[in-house]
Structure 1
Amino acid sequence: MLDGRVKTLHPRVHAGLLARRDLPEHMAKLSEFNITPIDMVVVNLYPFKTTIQKPGVSQAEAIENIDIGGPSMLRSAAKNFSAVLPIVDPNDYDVIINKLQAGEVDTTYRQLLAAKVFQHTASYDALIADYLTTSEFPDKLTLHMKSLMICVMAKTLIKRPLLIRLPCPETYSVLHADILHGKQLSYNNIRDADAALRIIAEFKETTVVTVKHMKSCRYRPRADIRGSLG
C-alpha cells in the first residue's frame, strides 16, 4: 500500500508512519483501512553494546539483544521526518519538549533528528557486524566511532583536530577517562597522555613514563651518566 512504501511491514504501524500527509491518496488509504497517522516515534534500541561488554556473555545472549523492530520504526519515522518526529537519543527529550511547547519544531530541526536516527542505526548495525565477523580482513569494513569534541588549538599542522573513539573501549584509553578538574586538554596533551598509557601498559611493575610530543623520555641516575661519560 501507499504506492509501495509499505510492503512487508505491518501496515497498522508502518502505514501510519510512512503515509505522506501532503498526498490525498495516502490519507484516503489510511482512512479506508482505519489506520491512525503516527506523529512521533521514540525508541531506545536493545542494549547490544552493553550486552557484549559483559564478562562471559554468550553469543546466544548477544544475538537476542539485536533489535529488529526498533530500527525499522525509527527508519520509517526518519524517512518521513517532515510529518513524523523521530527521537532516538534520551538526551534530546527535554529539548524536544521545550521546542514542541514553544512551537519551534521546524523542518530543519526535524531533518537534524532524522540524520541522528540514521547515524545511530548505522553505528548499531556496524557494531553487530563487527561482533559477528570472524575474518581478519573482511570484504567490507564499516567504522563506527563516536565524535567527542573539537580539540583546543595546539601547535600542530591539523587546524581543527577532532577526537573520535570506538564504541567499545580498549583496556587503556584516555578518551574513556573522566576529566575531574582543570581546563580542556589540547590535541597534543591528549596524544601525549594516550602514548604514556600505551607505554606504561607494557609493564607489570610500578612504572613512571614521561612523554613530550609523542616521544618517551628515560632518565638515568647521575652515577650511571658519569660512568658512561668517564
Structure 2
Amino acid sequence: MKKFPAATAAAFAVTAVPSLLQFALPSLETALRRDPARIADGEWWRLGTSLLVQGGGPVGAAFNLVSLLVLGVIAERALGPVRWIACYLAGAAAGQAAGTWLGLVDAGNSIGVCGLAGGLAVAVALGRADRFAGSVAAFYALLLVGGIFTGSVTVIVATAVIGAAGAQLIAHRNRLPLPVFPAIVVATGLVLAVLADLHGPALLGGAAMAGVVAGALGAAPRSAR
C-alpha cells in the first residue's frame, strides 16, 4: 500500500477551513490577504496567512482547493512529504516575493500549488514521476495562462481552449516524449514571469527547489520512465 499523503492532507485541512469560512465572514479575507502596503508597515505575517484564504471568489477557492488536493497527492507520491513541503514553500515564497514587488493585493494558495507543479516537472525530468504526473503538472501550468486574460468572455473562451488542449495532453500522454511535460511547465513559468504574473516565479521556484534536492530523489522504478 502507498503511504497516506499526510503533507497534502494537512495542508488541505489548514487551507480549506479558513478558505470556506471567509464566505461566512467576508472580513476574514481582508484581514489575512497579502497587502504590500501593510506588509511594509510591519504586518509581515500576511505573507503566510494570505495562503489560507482565497481572493478569487467561490470559483477561485474551489479551483485552488481541488488543485491542491489533486496535485498534492501526485507530487507527494513522487517527491515524498519533506520535499513536498520544500517545493510548496518555495513556490509560495517566490510567488509572495513577486506579488509584493508588483504591489498586488490578493490571496490564495495557488502559488504553493505552483511550487508542487514545478517540483513535479523536475521529478519527471529525473524519471521519478511518470507521464501521468507530468501531464497533470503541465495541464495545471497551462490553465494558469488563462489568468492573464481580461474580460469574462475572453477568460471563458481561453479557459475552454486551454482545458481542451490540456485534456488531449493527458489523454495522449503516452505518445509524447517524457521531456515534453517538464518543458511545458518551465516554459509556462518563464512566460508568466515575463508577463509579470506571480504564478511564473512560483512555478520556477518549485522547480528550483526540487533541483536543489535532486541528488536525494533517488532512482525511479523502471515503470516510471
Structure of higher RCO (CA pairs closer than 8 Å, 6+ residues apart): 2
TM norm structure 2: 0.25
Larger helix percent:
2
Larger strand percent:
1
Rg: which structure is higher?
A: 1
